[in-house]
Structure 1
Amino acid sequence: MTASEQTWVAPQSVIFDMDGLLIDSESLAMKALNKAGEEMGYDTPFSFCQAMIGVPIDRCRSLVAERFGEDFPLDLYFATSDKHFTSLVEAGHLQLKAGVENLLGALEEQGISKAVATSSSRRKADHHLELIGIRERFSAIITRDDVQRGKPDPDPFLRAAEALQTPPERCLVLEDSHNGVRAAHAAGMRVIMVPDLLGPTDEMLEKVFMVADDLNVVAELIRSSVPETAPATKQ
């Protein structure tokens, strides 16, 4: 765990990424993308699939086209990947990440509002959050369908802050992906990185408040926080 030289101030709102942060879905997505490539006779190693973590679907399609050429059957590839991903989810492999319940409880104890900002679709986000039983614990869910520009642009986080009626500088973002960290930083928000499949780079360390091993670390930080208070007025 590392921390920057920024001073910690308790947030008014916390905005969560979803895949790889709240739910252990990135590893399932990597397996699905890899298996789809194998079925179609293409080499799609995990090192290549990792480049699509935290990336909007249009950019994912561009990455695949750049690797395999314009004749590559993109629609079939992603449809096949979705089929394998759905099979893994239906088999019960979708799980909460460590510390989720602990952190949600800590935020609710202190009355800190919560939102999700994800690169997933509305359909997938609602389904997955409902499936693991935490959908109703968030005041807002912002998906790729709600913004014109996804991560690494700041739009998803700014839209979430607007929904929570919280200034960006009073929001804390929790992210596992590099593009998510970039988006939160561009939005003017404090960000804690909780790595999943991608570790922190020098660029990430410059942008984050800290790197946490899991969400239990963030829960401890929240519970130890003293809420920011307005200056006393003179009588």
Structure 2
Amino acid sequence: MEKLTLLTGLADGCKAYLYDCDGTLADNMGAHRESYVRVAASKGASIDGAIIDELAGWPAVKVIEEINRRYGTSFDPEEFKEAKYQLFLEEYIEHTRPVDFVVEHLKAHAGKIKIGVVSGSRRESVEKTLKILGIYDLVEVMVCSGETQQGKPWPEPFLKAAQLLDVAPEDCMVFEDGDAGVQAAIAAGMKWVRIDKL
């Protein structure tokens, strides 16, 4: 409850709350990390899962391109992305747990403040995750992977969400667990809170 109170205090005076999904609302970054590692292993490469945490919030294709750059691999980004996505959906998504204090914060403000979710994951995955967490119907706007020209750390996803909610960027508060998301929020001129689950 202390964390929930802290979030509420930090976000006073805003007209819209924009939440990242994976790692912020959903405690599922371990599952995403393992999915990447398993797909790489199936293709004969061993990667350190820490790179997935480092690049949290990046679109999957950009993550895979960075893996290729660092590891000297030649994965086809689209093929790898699809394999990782299917593995995550088939074996991990149903076990998604909430980041309780963030989910409770969203629930406490739904209907009082405009609510958006801005994610680097594709829409189907985000929708299913929000349904598993029981908050899908509380979210007014979603901006997901591929729905803007540039993803996080560029500001476009957050700016699009603000536009769809008809709220000025400076009146939005972003809740993020990843560096890319924080950078995007700053670039968008929005207030932000870094979510630390420890």
Q: Who is 1:106 aligned against? A: 108
For residues 194 and 36 of structure 1, the distance between their equivalents in structure 2, rounded to whole angstroms, comes to 28
More helix by share: 2
For residues 130 and 140 of structure 2, the distance between their equivalents in structure 1, rounded to whole angstroms, comes to 13
Greater Rg over alpha carbons, structure: 1
CA 124–191 in structure 1, closer or farther in 2 if over 3 Å, else same: same
**What one-letter code is carried by the residue in structure 2 that aligns with 1:128?**
T
- Pick one of 84, 89, 93 that aligns with 2:87: 84
Kindly indicate whether the alpha-carbon contact (under 8 Å) linking 1:29 and 1:85 is maintained by their aligned counterparts in 2: yes
Q: Who is 1:35 aligned against? A: 38
Pairwise CA distance, 1:130: 2.2
Q: Who is 1:65 aligned against? A: 68
Normalising by structure 2, we get a TM-score of 0.85
For residues 66 and 189 of structure 1, the distance between their equivalents in structure 2, rounded to whole angstroms, comes to 32
Normalising by structure 1, we get a TM-score of 0.73
Which consecutive residues of structure 2, in runs of 5 or more, have no partner in the other structure?
A: none
Kindly indicate whether the alpha-carbon contact (under 8 Å) linking 1:64 and 1:74 is maintained by their aligned counterparts in 2: no
Kindly indicate whether the alpha-carbon contact (under 8 Å) linking 2:176 and 2:195 is maintained by their aligned counterparts in 1: yes
CA RMSD for the aligned pairs?
Answer: 2.3
For residues 8 and 126 of structure 1, the distance between their equivalents in structure 2, rounded to whole angstroms, comes to 25
Matches within 5 A, 1:1-235: 9-69=12-72, 71-89=74-92, 92-108=94-110, 111-195=112-196
Pairwise CA distance, 1:114: 0.6
Kindly indicate whether the alpha-carbon contact (under 8 Å) linking 1:88 and 1:94 is maintained by their aligned counterparts in 2: no
**Equivalenced residues, count:** 191
Give identity over the alignment, percent.
Answer: 25
Pairwise CA distance, 1:70: 6.1
Kindly indicate whether the alpha-carbon contact (under 8 Å) linking 2:61 and 2:77 is maintained by their aligned counterparts in 1: no
For residues 74 and 19 of structure 2, the distance between their equivalents in structure 1, rounded to whole angstroms, comes to 37
For residues 103 and 27 of structure 1, the distance between their equivalents in structure 2, rounded to whole angstroms, comes to 22
CA 39–179 in structure 1, closer or farther in 2 if over 3 Å, else same: same
CA 173–43 in structure 1, closer or farther in 2 if over 3 Å, else same: same
Pairwise CA distance, 1:50: 2.5
| Cα distance per residue 1:32-83 (max 9 Å; x no partner) | 1112222322111122333331111231121122134364354554343223
Pairwise CA distance, 1:135: 1.1
For residues 74 and 180 of structure 1, the distance between their equivalents in structure 2, rounded to whole angstroms, comes to 21
Kindly indicate whether the alpha-carbon contact (under 8 Å) linking 1:23 and 1:94 is maintained by their aligned counterparts in 2: yes
For residues 9 and 99 of structure 1, the distance between their equivalents in structure 2, rounded to whole angstroms, comes to 17
* Structure 1 moving runs of 4+ over 3 Å: 68-80
For residues 11 and 21 of structure 2, the distance between their equivalents in structure 1, rounded to whole angstroms, comes to 24
